Amino acid sequence: MENHSPAIFVGDALGLDFLNSVATPVDLPVDWIENGEGLLRWLEQARLVPPETLAAMREQALPGELDKIADQARSLREWFRSFVLARKGKPLASDALNELEPLNRLLERNEGFGRIVAKRTGEGTSLDFLPMRKWRTPEALLLPIGEALGRFVCTEDFSDVKACEGHACTLLFVDHTRGGRRRWCSMAMCGNRAKQAAHRHRLKQG
């Protein structure tokens, strides 16, 4: 059965939110990109692809084509998850570059360009330089994901990458809090469950 619930964005970095596109928010695991339509919905919620581009992809893709791209996205996700899990909690060393070659090969497919556009301001309009991309095939949908992963590797301190301490939770996040005290994917989910469990434990002890 297809999942239409909103995706989870608690990673504090879009690269980790991509890894968190499969998770166990309650009891059963949920994969938000289990098929092509799920991938399009996740990309829209992540604001990685313009809505009009997603609509065009839905209309123009051949039968099963988007499902194949979703397969590739899931493979990319699990490859990158292994990379992150092996290195979280410590600085990323430069020797990791060789292992990032699959990501560089994906990024080489980029057909990006820039366009000068009008930008509205409080004083009228001005000119702005807007990065854009040619969406020639459904495979291009993987490129903004690749860019998010690349930015994550190059801009975040892997020492601050943590796994949620919630029971059976698989969500990852970057701890940007002062003192690095974040323990949960979110207080609304695992943090609240931990509080309830601690309260029940105190009642039993009392």
The predicted model gives 10-23 an average pLDDT of 96
pLDDT of 199 reads 41
Element (H, E) at 116: strand 112-121
Other C-beta atoms within 10 Å of 68: how many? 14
Nearest to 11 by CA among 152, 172, 144, 142: 172
| Three-state secondary structure call for residue 123 | coil
Q: What is the C-alpha to C-alpha distance for residues 12 and 16, in angstroms, rounded to an integer?
A: 7
E strand spans, the chain:
22-23, 30-31, 112-121, 124-133, 161-163, 172-174
pTM attached to this predicted model:
0.86
Check whether domain 14-107+139-205 has CATH 2.40.100.10, yes or no = no
Q: pLDDT digit string (tens) for 185-200?
A: 887 778 666 555 554 5
Inform me whether the pLDDT recorded for 28 exceeds 90.
no
Q: 174 pLDDT band (50/70/90 cuts)?
A: very high
Domains of the chain by residue range: 14-107+139-205
List of residues 6+ apart from 62 with CB closer than 8 A: none
Determine the average pLDDT of the residues in 13-34.
92
